[in-house]
Amino acid sequence: MPYLGAHESTAGGLHLAFARIASVGGEALQIFTRNQRQWQAPPLTGEEIALFRRRWEQTACMPVASHASYLINLGSGDHEQAARSVRAFAEELHRCDLLGIPWVVIHPGSHGGDGVKAGMARVVRNLDAAITVAGEKSTVRVLLETTAGQGSGLGSRFEELGWMISHSSFAGRLGVCLDTCHIFAGGYDIRTPAAYTRTMAAFDRAVGLERLYFFHLNDSKKDLGSRVDRHEHIGRGRIGLEGFRQLLNDPCFAVKAMTLETPKGNDLVEDKENLRLLRSLLDSR
């Protein structure tokens, strides 16, 4: 069965995310390795790295992914912002290498009104530049996240993700993180068995199911095709439980990591309840 978990805070130290995910019964984890609202971050110390790795080992090495900063826009047509984004993403890859994190999830970026083709070409160029800066010893796999299609955002169509991956010089290092809220907002339905089958077939044609390494499990506050990114608790949104039942019981993803990005308070009770609900859907069709 899939590894179910959540994005958890690293407040007080990166290693504390493991205590938080354990407290909600999670089996997979996503984190920010740095303050995602700032361009600059202090380098990781040897002590931080060792403590993170030690706590991770105590979890039997559960699947862990990093999420890159929301400030990064690899599709930007502004030279200064693009250069800053390349530097920041290369640094994120380096941090993940030091911590041993195998995947980093990143939003492809936005074209800023210059058009999808121009934006995608810039994403490929800047993504390749960041991976080159990170160095040939870097082993982190970059996962382009499916997006909702708000504004000039790139990656809401599976064909866009497939194009960017296939045109990269580092295609072998790239994959996809599928966000259920985002694809639903982008117009891909998963609410019935037939709709789910059509959506996954479309992804397979455009990208390839073998490129799916990680999932974000979020219901949607907004309607199918709304192009509005608003996460909701599992079963309380417009997707509903049946869509998640389809995904969780798909044998193609039986050993994949899937993390919540749903609203929550400091006590994390929402994560615990959402995970309980997801597990109740396993093998129950």
Supply the residues annotated as catalytic.
37, 67, 70, 107, 145, 179, 182, 216, 229, 231, 261
Give the residue among 107, 106, 105, 109 at the shortest CA–CA distance from 120: 109
Cβ atoms of 101 and 16 closer than 8 Å: no
Beta-carbon contacts of residue 83 (< 8 Å; ≥ 6 apart) = none
**Dihedral, CA of residue 162, residue 111, residue 157 and residue 87, to nearest 10:** 50
The single residue listed with the structure tokens 């907004």 is: 222
